[in-house]
Every structure is written in C-alpha cells, then in structure tokens.
C-alpha cells in the first residue's frame, strides 16, 4: 500500500513529465543577450558604415549585397550562439537538446520565418526596401508566437512585442532601422537578462 | 465525498506507466524513441509497460514507415484520457483529505 508521501511524489512526477515532454526549456538567456548584441552591431554597421537609411517604403540603395551579408551574418551568429548554448544547457541538465519538443519548436518557427524570408526576397525587386525591417519584425513575431506553445510563456510575449514593433515600424516608416534595432537588439537583451536571472542564476 | 484507495486504477500504480500516460496526455502522439528519452528507461522496460497500457485499452499503437524505417507511435485513447483524469482527481482528493 502506498503512503501519502508516495501520492505527492506521483503528482510531482506527473507534472514534471507533462512539462518535460511538451515544453523546451533549454533556451538560454546568454544566447538571447548575444543575439541582441549582434543585432545592434549589425544595425550600426548598416546605418553608419554602409549608410543604409531606409526612411520611406520606396527607398533606393545602390548595392544591397553588403546589407544582405550583414543581415545573414547576424542571423548566422545568433543561431550558432543559440545552438551552442542550448546544447550546453541541456547537457548540464543531463538532457538531450535535440528531442521531440525542440524539433516541434523549430518547425513551428521555421514555417513563418521561411514564408517571411521569401516574401522579403520577392519585394526587393519592387524597391520596397523600407518594408524589409518591419516585415522581418512581424514574421519573427509570428514565429515566436507559434514557438510559445512549445516553450515558456515569455517566448509568446516576446512574439507579441516584435509584432507590435513591426506594425509601429510601418506606421512610423521614417524611423527606419530604429524599430528593427529595438526589436532584434534591445528586446533580445532584455529577454536574455530576464531569462538569466529567472532560471539560470 | 467518499474516496477510497480502491478508486485508484491499478494500471497507474507503476511510475513508468504513470509517466507514459502523463507524456501522452499533453502530446497528440509520441514515438517510441521520444518516449524512451523522456522517461529515461530501457527499451524492454518501456515495451512491457506500453503493452500493459495497450491491453487496458488506454493507449493506441500506430505502426508506419518513415524513410523505410519502421516507426511506432503512440496515442492516448479517449478511454485512457478518462481513466487518467479520474486518477488525477482521486490523487488530489486523497492528498486534500489527509491534510
């Protein structure tokens, strides 16, 4: 016959299993902070070095190659940091980073991100360069909103924030890269610091 | 309310079986490998307990092929869902009544 203690333990195990099998908890705060720093650096390079100042929906810029390279670099570094740090964190908790939950988390993000990426490629030839920044914010927001189902609720909140910034970016198009820098830079850093103090310290 | 320990389903006495049911309660379906990773048990151990739940009619098995490799996925039946929720309710009231 089981005792009361056993039943309390049973409930604790049920809870922990439900959480472990449905939520990916190895997303790290450090990766968020690093991604934010890369984004701020990227925005600074685009603005000051490459003199990319998209202040209207129709904006012409002689050669987009360097801008695309900068953006790809920021994306690549952010993904690498997230990957490496998630693996490190999962290892520390003696879990696998690549499991059913993280697979679903990544698929749920990949669908809106790829759609957004293709859309942006399609609008560049029309000269709608001013829409690139708000569209990346919006689609990234959709991706995070989706991913929120498979992670902590803060991810979903961050998705909302990115969507709002994307919409504001369209409404105040003359501010160009500023909203992008806030969304991908500042918001990531704030999220990362929050995650760090809440779960990792 | 009169709750007795007899209301606790025998199938859920085992921690592994309870774990399988908990994982399936929050996932539409899970394959064998994912379940094994979440539960951290051996193949044989997991297979035995799933078999038992299958016999109770709580878990449904679906075998298919992905890239020519066999893939077995498991879902909770509606009967399983009912029994699991009932089990949770009983656990809860046992703990409440003993406080």
- Provide the ipTM: 0.82
Residue B99 lies in a domain: no
Cβ-defined contact of B95 to A17 (cutoff 8 Å): no
**3-class SS of residue B59:** strand
Any domain includes B89? yes
Q: pLDDT over 70 for what percent of chain B?
A: 92
Question: What CATH number does residue B71 fall under?
Answer: 1.10.10.10
Exposure on the CB side of residue B28, measured as CA atoms within 13 A: 2
Within a domain: residue A119?
Answer: yes
Indicate whether A161 belongs to any domain: yes
- Residue numbers of the domain that contains A100: 28-200
**Chain A CB within 8 Å of residue B72 CB:** no
pLDDT value at residue B5: 60
pLDDT tens for each residue of chain A, 201 residues long: 567 778 888 888 898 888 888 887 767 788 999 999 999 999 999 988 888 888 878 888 888 888 889 999 999 999 899 889 888 888 887 777 777 888 888 999 999 999 999 999 999 999 899 999 999 999 999 999 999 988 888 899 999 999 999 999 999 999 878 999 999 999 999 999 998 888 777
What does the pLDDT look like over B11-21, one tens digit per residue?
888 889 999 99
* Residue B24 CB burial class (10 angstroms; 0-12, 13-18, ≥19): buried
φ, ψ for residue B9, nearest 5 deg: -70, 135
Let me know if residue A2 belongs to a domain: no
Range of the domain at B45: 9-94
Q: Is there a domain that residue A144 lies in?
A: yes
B41 token code pair: 């048990």
Contact A135, A172 (CB under 8 A): no
B26 contacts in A (CB within 8 Å)?
18, 21-22
pLDDT at A2: 62
Backbone angles phi, psi at A108, to 5 degrees: -65, -25
Q: How many residue pairs bridge chain A and chain B with CB atoms within 8 Å of each other?
A: 57
The SS3 assignment for B60 reads strand
Q: How far is CA A155 from CA A55, A91, A150, A158, B87, in A?
A: 30, 22, 9, 5, 32
**Does residue A17 lie in a domain region?**
no
Cβ-nearest to A7 among B15, B31, B95: B95
Structure tokens at A175: 């501010």
Residue B4 lies in a domain: no
The DSSP bridge pattern shows strands B30-31 and B69-76 to be antiparallel
Is A73 a member of any domain?
Answer: yes
Give chain B's length.
99
List the 92-121 stretch of A: residues with Cβ below 8 A of B. 96, 99-100
Whether pLDDT at B1 is above 50: no
For residue A20, the model assigns a pLDDT of 83
Number of structural domains chain B divides into: 1
B64 domain residue, yes or no = yes
The model's pTM is 0.78
A5 belongs to a structural domain: no
Q: A4: which residues sit within 8 A by CB, 6+ positions away?
A: B94, B95, B98
Residue B10 has pLDDT above 50, yes or no: yes
Q: Do A4 and B98 touch (CB under 8 A)?
A: yes
Strand partners, B75: B60
The closest alpha carbon to A135, from A171, A185, A158, A169, belongs to A169
Q: Which residue has the tokens 């105040």?
A: A172
* B21-69 pLDDT, tens digit each: 999 998 888 999 889 988 989 999 999 999 999 999 999 999 988 888 8
Q: Could you tell me if residue B2 is inside a domain?
A: no
> Which residue of A16, A19, A21 is the best one to mutate when testing the B interface, meaning the one whose CB has the most B CBs within 10 A?
A21
Chain A: closest CA distance from residue B73 (Å):
12
**Domain count within chain A:** 1
Residue A121 lies in a domain: yes
Q: What percent of chain B has pLDDT over 90?
A: 52
Distance from C-alpha of B37 to C-alpha of A155, rounded to nearest angstrom: 25
Residues of chain A in contact with residue B25, where contact means CB-CB under 8 angstroms, are 18
């Amino acid at each position: 016959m089981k005792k009361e203690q056993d039943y309390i333990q049973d409930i604790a195990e049920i809870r922990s299993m439900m959480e472990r099998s449905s939520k990916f908890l190895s997303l790290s705060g450090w990766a968020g902070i690093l991604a934010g720093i890369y984004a701020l650096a990227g925005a600074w390079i685009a603005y000051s070095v490459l003199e990319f100042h998209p202040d209207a929906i129709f904006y012409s810029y002689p050669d987009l190659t360097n801008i695309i390279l900068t953006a790809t670099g920021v994306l690549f570094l952010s993904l690498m940091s997230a990957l490496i740090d998630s693996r490190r964190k999962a290892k520390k908790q003696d879990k696998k980073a690549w499991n059913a939950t993280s697979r679903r988390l990544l698929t749920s993000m990949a669908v809106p991100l790829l759609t957004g990426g293709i859309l942006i490629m399609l609008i560049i030839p029309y000269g709608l360069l001013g829409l690139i920044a708000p569209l990346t914010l919006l689609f990234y927001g959709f991706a995070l909103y989706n991913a929120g189902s498979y992670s902590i609720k803060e991810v979903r909140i961050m998705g909302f924030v990115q969507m709002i910034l994307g919409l504001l970016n369209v409404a105040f198009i003359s501010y160009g890269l500023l909203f992008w820098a806030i969304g991908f830079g500042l918001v990531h850093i704030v999220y990362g610091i929050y995650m760090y103090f809440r779960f990792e310290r | 309310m009169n709750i007795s320990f007899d209301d606790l389903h025998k199938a859920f006495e085992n921690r592994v079986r309870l774990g399988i049911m908990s994982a399936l309660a929050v996932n539409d379906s899970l394959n064998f490998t994912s379940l094994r990773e979440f539960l951290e048990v051996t193949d044989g151990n997991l297979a035995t307990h799933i078999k038992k739940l299958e016999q109770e009619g709580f878990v449904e098995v679906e075998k298919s092929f992905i890239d020519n490799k066999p893939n077995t996925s498991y879902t909770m039946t509606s009967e399983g869902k009912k029994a699991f929720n009932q089990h949770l309710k009983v656990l809860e009231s046992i703990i409440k009544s003993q406080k």
